[in-house]
């Protein structure tokens, strides 16, 4: 059963070593993410599953102890997802950011595993994966990584798209209200066109949260660098 969930964006710039001189610009976002992880710890879960967007070759499970780094972003900073023997596969960037966040907040409340979600995974399969993950009597917590649109400004990675602000506002409302139906209704094509990598992980969360009776709260909603970032908790 789903006991709690936290939703955080996953830009590598969340890691101060990567952001370097611009690190202070995302201090508010880091604080909100830390607060969200604290909610997961307070729920006393039996297991924490971290999910985040991944490419086709990066999708699938990552055992406790799986390692990642930010060398691809010019920083020799290694991270590890929980304690364990790990695996030969390196964490995708979204899960590496999650691993840093868990280390940064000293999360030790439960065993941690990772799951890379293909950004092209259809909505129905996302929901089914969420339901499967939350099945059973154990108290499951989810840390859901994923960004909104990347098209909020002219300088955004995806350039300006007039649909982006409304898309992000709708996603933020649904995440903040723990509205599983609204999340499952997020259009795959629109999300892809707006480069919203969080769509599939959010819909996995929606499947896991069906019938759980959790209340939501939105802790952060902004678009620094033209990318929609939302932080929310379900508890």
Amino acid 88: pLDDT: 75
Cα distance between the two ends of the chain: 12
| Reported confidence tier of residue 123, pLDDT bands at 50, 70, 90 | very high
Residue 21: pLDDT over 80: no
Amino acid 19: pLDDT: 81
Residue 53: pLDDT over 90: yes
pLDDT digits 0-9 by tens, 139-152: 999 999 999 999 99
Average pLDDT over residues 70-94: 90
Residue 37: pLDDT over 90: yes
Average pLDDT over residues 94-101: 98
Amino acid 163: pLDDT: 97
| Reported confidence tier of residue 91, pLDDT bands at 50, 70, 90 | very high
Amino acid 84: pLDDT: 82
pLDDT digits 0-9 by tens, 67-76: 999 999 999 9
| Reported confidence tier of residue 83, pLDDT bands at 50, 70, 90 | confident
2-234: CATH topology is Protocatechuate 4,5-dioxygenase; Chain B (3.40.830)
Domain ranges (residues) in the chain: 2-234
pLDDT digits 0-9 by tens, 215-231: 999 999 999 999 999 99
What is the C-alpha to C-alpha distance for residues 11 and 51, in angstroms, rounded to an integer?
A: 14
């Amino acid at each position: 059963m789903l006991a709690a969930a936290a939703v955080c964006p996953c830009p590598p710039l969340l890691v101060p070593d990567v952001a370097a001189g611009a690190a202070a610009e995302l201090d508010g976002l880091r604080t909100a993410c830390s607060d969200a992880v604290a909610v997961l710890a307070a729920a006393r879960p039996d297991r924490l599953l971290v999910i985040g967007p991944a490419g086709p070759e990066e999708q699938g499970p990552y055992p406790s102890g799986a390692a990642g780094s930010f060398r691809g972003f010019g920083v020799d900073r290694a991270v590890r997802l929980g304690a364990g023997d790990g695996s030969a596969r390196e964490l995708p960037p979204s899960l590496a950011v999650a691993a840093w966040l868990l280390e940064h907040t000293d999360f030790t409340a439960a065993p941690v595993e990772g799951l890379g979600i293909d950004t092209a995974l259809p909505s129905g399969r996302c929901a089914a994966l969420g339901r499967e993950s939350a099945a059973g009597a154990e108290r499951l917590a989810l840390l859901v990584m994923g960004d909104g649109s990347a098209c909020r400004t002219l300088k955004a990675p995806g350039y300006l798209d007039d649909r982006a602000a409304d898309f992000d506002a709708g996603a933020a409302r649904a995440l903040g209200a723990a509205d599983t139906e609204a999340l499952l209704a997020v259009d795959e094509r629109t999300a892809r066109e707006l480069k919203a990598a969080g769509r599939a992980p959010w819909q996995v969360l929606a499947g896991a949260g069906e019938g759980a009776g959790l209340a939501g709260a939105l802790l952060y909603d902004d678009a620094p660098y033209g990318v929609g970032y939302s932080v929310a908790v379900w508890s």
